[in-house]
Amino acid sequence: MTLAARRTHGGRTDKDLRPVCTESFLEAIFPPHLELLPQVAQRYEFELAYAESKTLTDAELVRRSAYLYRVRGELTHHYRICQHRPVQVDPDLKHRQNFFDANAYGVGYATHGLFPYRGKFHPQMIKGIMNVIGLRQGDTVLDPMAGSGTTLIEASLIGVHSIGVELNPFACLMARAKLAGLQMKCASFPKLVANADALFNHFEADTQSKELLFDVPRAAASSRVAKLLDGDGALRELVLLAFLDTMGYATRRKSKTARELFPIVLTRYLAAVEQFNLIREELELTLGEAQVICEDCRRLNVPDDSIDGVVFSPPYSFAIDYVANDELQLRYLGFDPQQLSARMVGLVGPSARTAAERVRLRVEHYFNDMNQILAECIRVMKRGSCCVIVIGSNTNQTGGIRLETRMIEYANQYGAPLQKHITREIEGIRNTMREEHILVFRKV
């Protein structure tokens, strides 16, 4: 035995020593010219980021990627947009601010932060999904249950056209206002803030009105308010949304009145819109066109084989009663919440003697509705295109039934078998489900 072989290190010989692996699993998966955003941490994010890297060119990754920080040293558009994210929550609500700070690249950027709508999509995830299913600039994506417009906003940011169908008229207002904010002239914003009290008086006077407020300024509006809004229906809807947000906020914030809160909320809204429009112009973004249709998705007014992709999340009505959440805003807009509940998926069900029986009947109606909706979605999709459903199961409220299992069965029977199944752990505040399932179906 040689002298070198006898040499020991802490009781071990040279022969026992092995090289230390210095390569991380990220370095093994992603090439060195791709740098992930710092807050990418969950498995589903790594899966979507990896799929993006295999689906898009480097130039496309810069413009479209949801999870990359830099590509060959160039900052991605997603990162730069998120750097223009203004404060969207009350500074006194530290837990909410901490959540948004911890998810700076996932929520609250562009106009997503306008109106805190419960149960909404995770915007960054939707961008990643649209990338990996092959949607390209000029394609059209459908969200048959559009809610507050998250899919439509994300599609617009990457140049994809979109159609959003939604039965809740207040959600339609939210979607339209957020979409309009993506491309809006901001020169009048300082005057709007300076005249916040006059704007508040105008909208407060309409509180008992049953006339809908969607299209044009009212004839009864004061000349000063009419001049401020200047016949701009999109701007008017944005200010109206800020007012409706304030009314709901005032019911939770007892220390200040709605009139005191309105200038604060309006300032936040306008700051978010202005910040995005600055970066939109800087990046020279070509936004996709979006259409919001306030109809029932169980009967889609969309031609067969015309849609390049479908992305949606069925309502979690067993966990969240969306109509009850929106009751104040719906009544202000002149809608009867009870009549709307009777038509909403997940809330429909005949009366029953016990709570358990009521849940059973609701679940039965829910699956009948979802069967019909999936059939419609697959009907309008082009062959070879994908339908992505993001769904969670609150088994405590469904009697142990897994919603994602039924969705797989329904899609398969209509010729769209499951291609990929990704599980996403739900993080956030006041969440009622621990995980969501990202189900990717392809029409064959």
* 418-425 β-sheet, strand order: 290-293, 161-165, 140-143, 307-312, 381-391, 435-442, 418-425
Residue 435, H or E segment: strand 435-442
Give the pLDDT of residue 211. Answer: 46
Of 164, 157, 122, residue with least CA distance to 141: 164
Helices 233-252 and 258-283: angle between axes, nearest 10 degrees: 130
pLDDT tens digits for range 375-433: 999 999 999 999 999 998 666 666 667 889 999 999 999 999 999 999 998 765 445 56
Question: Does residue 43 surpass a pLDDT of 50?
Answer: yes
Of 291, 296, 306, 299, residue with least CA distance to 375: 299
pLDDT tens digits for range 234-290: 999 999 999 999 998 888 877 889 999 999 999 999 999 999 999 999 999 999 999
- Residue 228 has phi, psi (to 5 degrees) of -65, -45
Of 361, 380, 357, residue with least CA distance to 369: 361
CB 390 within 8 A of CB 313: yes
pLDDT tens digits for range 92-140: 555 555 656 667 788 889 999 898 776 667 899 999 999 999 999 999 9
d(CA 364, CA 366): 5
pLDDT tens digits for range 178-199: 999 999 999 999 999 999 999 9
d(CA 266, CA 268): 5
Highest mean pLDDT out of 19-23, 55-59, 352-356 = 55-59
- Residue whose entry in the numeric block shows the structure tokens 């991380």: 24
Q: What SS3 class is residue 426?
A: coil
